[in-house]
Structure 1
Amino acid sequence: MAEAAGDSPSHVDIDVAIVGAGIIGIAAASFLQDEGRDVLLIDRGEPAQGASFGNAGAFAFSDILPLASPRIMRKAPRWLIDPLGPLSIPPAYLPEILPWLIRFWRASWPDRVRGAMVAQAALMRLASREMAALVAAAGLDGMVRSDGSLELYEHEAELTAAMPGWDARAQEGIAFQHVRGAAMADLQPGLSPRFVAGTFVPGWKTVSDPYDFASALAARVVRRGGRIARHEVAAIRPVAGGVALDCRDGRTITARQAVIACGAWSRPLARALGDDVPLETERGYNTTLPPGAFDIRRQLIFGGHGFVITPLSSGIRVGGAVELGGLTRAPNFARSEAMLRKAADFLPGLKTDGGRQWMGFRPSLPDSLPVIGASRASADIVYAFGHGHLGLTQSAATGRLVADLLAGRAPALDISPFSPQRF
């Protein structure tokens, strides 16, 4: 059960405190409970109300290509010209984000892209196995759809440009099929004739609704004895015998160990511990249309336009794109509207009335890899943040690795590519 801030004692001794009750923190709590650990999830809001609430709902295990790449660098200037396009940076934010952009450019060098892809592929293999086990243990099989995804191309040249990425996926054992004509129409009837080809990925999965899925896992954590407290943690510091978490309301929580998994809000906590991680915020937008707005058979990916369309139990979600704009700027819902207009062009007959708009913060690192590892200040403080677009996808793998690290055993895979000190 949740503890309201006003109900909590001023001093709480617990086993593991997890700062952040999004899907990453919830998954970490689940894996720690498997090992008999007592967990307290701490968040300034309700569980799964951040990026876990309105994401695209995919288990994107085949998405191993880093965002920083020569291909993206070639596209970026054209995208940036359009303030409502797939990639946008508000001009006033440019001076602040410039150091991150320089790191992003360096991460696009071919040798670094290859290293990031290999690390991402290893994490995805672990994610697929651990998520399957978590879903089965939690009895949530009915919330997972195994319909695959369909990425769509408006020109043969667009498919040709994407082929190196598909070749790289093939080398990692990822199955896919390029389709045209009737085969493409069977996978998604009603597409605009502007699309000449597609790529079907059968191993791609989606959840019925990402908020419902995360909430169900959080409820399971509570049923197994875990607690959820509403606090805003201002600082974490090592103390004799464990860790102290100082809250903005003046209270202090002490724990044997702690996990920092508060997504886009993780950077100040890590910096105070001596780890200045270059975490930036991708502001993602979407519109969720009512159920029945269109007969969407599976997640549709419009890579050239930077957004996806996902069938959910709560409706049809049209969203994506990247706005690098920090945590404090007001939402620009014109971006949601621009994607919805494109969706109506791409799916003639799509009913665009009655939609709910949303904007969320994706925590993103320049090399597209998350931070998973111990703090410089103490091995009893573990970081688990920076998953970008892949938090839901990689949550179970991250939970397994967090449990490994806090137990002091060798992690399930080489985590050096995800080190908080790699920068």
Structure 2
Amino acid sequence: MTAQKSTQTFDVMVLGAGIVGVSTAAHLRRLGLDVALIDRKHPGQEASAGNAGVIQHNGFLPFGLPKDPMGFLRSSFNLGGPFSYRPLTLIRMLPWIRKYIQSSYGEAAEAYCKAIMPLRTLAVQSHLELAEASNAGRFYRKGGWIHLFRGQTSFDAGDLERYYARIYGVDYREMDGEAVKALEPGLIVSGIRAVHWTESRSVSNPAAVVDAFWRGYIRDGGQYFRADAKKTIRKRGGWSLEGERGPIFARHAVVCLGAWSMDVLKKFGERYPLAVKRGYHMHYRPLSGASISRPIVDIDNGFALTPTDFGIRLTTGVELAGRDAPPNPQIVKLVKRRAEEIIPLGRALQDEPWLGSRPCVPDSLPIIGPSPTIKGLWLNFAHGHDGFTLGPVSGRVIAELLTGKTPCADVSGVSPVRFQE
């Protein structure tokens, strides 16, 4: 007869071990709580591994979709551009897309800026603090990142972003092709305009950063369990889950599951308009003499190029498709063709593109704070394109809120209560 395993009890269980979940668990542990971090995979293996590795100090506006109907439809068939859509997904998501576009311009864009800046202002500092505590500093680099504009029209469209930079005191430098070439000799930039965001940071290996944060959390006495978060049960006085090493119970649960958050929350009657923006990446070994020293973004075509420990990472723009839909390798092929107009990428270093999902709600803001309806349930997800940037600071905020401390940033603009009818 097999002996029944005894229940392990914690103050908090953190569901999801991407950079948001790991950072949340690390901050909770640093405040003295007993923490169980839960995931079905090794930490940092989903969207936290596949991004461009940038910690943005800019980013004042939502990642907007075209508001002109004809421009929107044209982009639907432009697989190599900033946006691509599958026809059936487009039809199904039209109400969500309409709300997203309405939230991306005018007064709504200004509201976004006011809500996100308290977090973004602390993003770099919060990263570096966790990096120092976990010996991850070797992955970080200064130098900012460069936004390239292939024409005057797209450069002029970025005026509002630069206006907010001046308002919030964020440094940037406008450059012509010659100035870009002086900074990044490996680029082909004839006729290109650019903006160098000097105060942002980047990393050479996003997955390794999350792994280092996780190892630091374990060294501090945190616990990690392989388990399926979808099996979480609400019990009197807390939350229960069956893990590989037996049952787990905690008084509080923090949902940090990114694109999978609603798989858990809908069981408890929580409703948030979460969708996913999918993205792909591939690594390349550049041809002789071609290199970059910091991330480069082609604004017109939506892709990013990042120097990593594995070669140059080409990260695509947004694909609106079902989270679990089959991948579309044509997107990477077409984006690579556009990318090679500015740098000869050379040989691919992966057999297949990596594919991940960025969780997003229509106002493009994360959802951070206590559930408005369920005691002991905390939410930290829907970071969209900012998961890697904002993971450490949003984790700190949740830890401070949960322990009754004054949070380091005003998060009233990203509270879950904004979705209450």
Question: Are the structure 2 counterparts of residues 316 and 245 from structure 1 closer, same or farther at C-alpha, using a change threshold of 3 Å?
Answer: same
Q: Give the counterpart letter for 2:256 in structure 1.
A: A
Residue 354 (structure 1) aligns with: 349
**Aligned partner of residue 21 in structure 1, secondary structure:** coil
Q: Give the counterpart letter for 1:59 in structure 2.
A: I
Matching of residues 6-155 of structure 1 within 5 Å: 9=5, 11-68=7-64, 75-155=71-151
Question: Are the structure 2 counterparts of residues 202 and 267 from structure 1 closer, same or farther at C-alpha, using a change threshold of 3 Å?
Answer: same
C-alpha separation in 1, matches of 2:49 and 2:9: 30
> Per-residue CA shift, 1:98-157, capped at 9, x if unaligned?
231122132134111100111111110122332222222223222101011111111223
Residue 336 (structure 1) aligns with: 332
Find 1:313's aligned residue among 292, 302, 309: 309
| 1:212 is aligned to 2:208 | yes
Q: Give how far 1:191 is off.
A: 2.5
How high is the TM-score relative to the length of structure 1?
0.91
Q: Is the 8 A contact 1:292 1:315 kept in 2?
A: no
Find 2:160's aligned residue among 159, 164, 188: 164
C-alpha separation in 1, matches of 2:180 and 2:267: 52
Q: Give the counterpart letter for 1:256 in structure 2.
A: R
Find 1:268's aligned residue among 245, 251, 263: 263
C-alpha separation in 1, matches of 2:362 and 2:7: 38
C-alpha separation in 2, matches of 1:250 and 1:30: 21
Question: Are the structure 2 counterparts of residues 316 and 122 from structure 1 closer, same or farther at C-alpha, using a change threshold of 3 Å?
Answer: same
% same residue? 32
Q: Give how far 1:383 is off.
A: 0.5
Question: Are the structure 2 counterparts of residues 416 and 408 from structure 1 closer, same or farther at C-alpha, using a change threshold of 3 Å?
Answer: same
**Structure 1 unmatched ranges of 5 or more:** 1-6
**Aligned partner of residue 20 in structure 2, secondary structure:** helix
Q: Is the 8 A contact 2:13 2:254 kept in 1?
A: yes
Q: Is the 8 A contact 2:11 2:251 kept in 1?
A: yes
Q: Is the 8 A contact 1:275 1:376 kept in 2?
A: no
Question: Are the structure 2 counterparts of residues 34 and 354 from structure 1 closer, same or farther at C-alpha, using a change threshold of 3 Å?
Answer: closer
Find 1:398's aligned residue among 394, 397, 401: 394
C-alpha separation in 1, matches of 2:325 and 2:65: 27
Q: Is the 8 A contact 2:277 2:384 kept in 1?
A: yes
Q: Is the 8 A contact 2:59 2:161 kept in 1?
A: no
Q: Give how far 1:9 is off.
A: 4.1
Deviating more after overlay: 40-49 vs 126-135: 126-135
Q: Is the 8 A contact 2:83 2:317 kept in 1?
A: yes
Find 1:416's aligned residue among 412, 417, 421: 412
Matching of residues 193-232 of structure 1 within 5 Å: 193-232=189-228
Q: Give how far 1:302 is off.
A: 0.4
**Aligned partner of residue 234 in structure 1, secondary structure:** helix
C-alpha separation in 2, matches of 1:65 and 1:72: 18
C-alpha separation in 2, matches of 1:46 and 1:10: 24
Q: Is the 8 A contact 1:273 1:375 kept in 2?
A: no
Q: Give the counterpart letter for 2:331 in structure 1.
A: R
**Structure 2 unmatched ranges of 5 or more:** none
Q: Give how far 1:314 is off.
A: 1.7
How high is the TM-score relative to the length of structure 2?
0.92
Q: Give the counterpart letter for 1:56 in structure 2.
A: A
Residue 282 (structure 1) aligns with: 277
Residue 4 (structure 1) aligns with: none
